[in-house]
Chains A and B, each alone.
Chain A
Amino acid sequence: AQKVTQAQTEISVVEKEDVTLDCVYETRDTTYYLFWYKQPPSGELVFLIRRNSFDEQNEISGRYSWNFQKSTSSFNFTITASQVVDSAVYFCALSGFLTGGGNKLTFGTGTQLKVEL
């Protein structure tokens, strides 16, 4: 079975601080994808990134960066110089090619990020 654990339920930071959201996953698949989605207060679910299990290169997109470490089954997300607009619930998700057919997303329970002035 697949499982995604986001141990941080809620994080509060002051604007301009850096913050890292943790994600740990379990899967028996050797090929899988990892995802991050953002759910702002308005409620929509916004796709941020997808990584293939064969590609462990870290990725940076503006103030966002992702650290994928297969050895620890983690896919952490860092926001640099956080802003109030970053306040949202962030979900980590996993899809596996065998157990999930490559399509079914298994989500974590989410981390609520609050960025205050």
Chain B
Amino acid sequence: GAGVSQSPRYKVTKRGQDVALRCDPISGHVSLYWYRQALGQGPEFLTYFNYEAQQDKSGLPNDRFSAERPEGSISTLTIQRTEQRDSAMYRCASSSQSNQPQHFGDGTRLSIL
């Protein structure tokens, strides 16, 4: 595709529910990254993949957060048993190779009630 595509754009859910956020990277991009951005802050790294392999998940806050990229293309970030503090903008980025600039999607705004 022309750019990184994320869905849904907005997600409102009740505390305790599980949510799955989807990222479709730029076609052919090997590396895919997830970040979380709180209001008024810069994005914070969560995890990244090269092809289907999760290379670094050091930024995932706790074991309620997980991510996968089973075929090396689309990725899903899953948050189980959501809490209000999980409310944020979740951004996905991709790059052609791991040492190339990252291009971001428009993000998913997650609100936990």
Chain A residues at the B interface, C-beta cutoff of 8 Å: 4, 35, 37, 43-47, 50, 91, 93, 101-110
Give every chain A residue within 8 A of B62 (Cβ-Cβ).
none
Give every chain A residue within 8 A of B102 (Cβ-Cβ).
47, 105
Known: A44-B104, A47-B103. A103 touches B55 (CB 8 A): yes
Known: A44-B107, A103-B48, A107-B42. 13 other contacts (CB 8 A): A4-B42, A35-B101, A43-B89, A44-B104, A44-B105, A45-B93, A47-B101, A47-B102, A103-B56, A104-B59, A105-B35, A105-B43, A109-B42
Tally the A-B contacts, defined by beta carbons under 8 Å.
Answer: 56
Q: How many residues of B contact A (CB 8 A)?
A: 26
Q: Which residue of A lies closest to B33 (CB)?
A: A103
Cβ contact within 8 Å between B45 and A44: no
Cβ contact within 8 Å between B107 and A91: no
Q: Which residue of B lies closest to A52 (CB)?
A: B99
Which of B42, B43, B56, B101 lies in contact with A101, CB distance below 8 A? B56
Q: Determine which residue in A46, A102, A105, A110 has the highest number of CB atoms from chain B within 10 A of its CB, and name it.
A: A105
Cβ contact within 8 Å between A110 and B41: yes
1/0 per residue, CB under 8 A from A, across B73-105: the answer is 000000000000000010101000011011111
Q: In whole angstroms, how far apart are the Cα atoms of A108 and B56 in the complex? A: 21
Q: Which residue of A lies closest to B102 (CB)?
A: A105
1/0 per residue, CB under 8 A from A, across B10-51: the answer is 000000000000000000000101010000111111001000
Cβ contact within 8 Å between A45 and B98: no
Which of A44, A103, A105 lies in contact with B98, CB distance below 8 A? A103
Give every chain B residue within 8 A of A50 (Cβ-Cβ).
101
Give every chain B residue within 8 A of A44 (Cβ-Cβ).
104-107
Cβ contact within 8 Å between B31 and A103: yes
Cβ contact within 8 Å between A43 and B55: no
Q: Which residue of A lies closest to B59 (CB)?
A: A104
Q: Which residue of B lies closest to A46 (CB)?
A: B104
Give every chain B residue within 8 A of A106 (Cβ-Cβ).
45
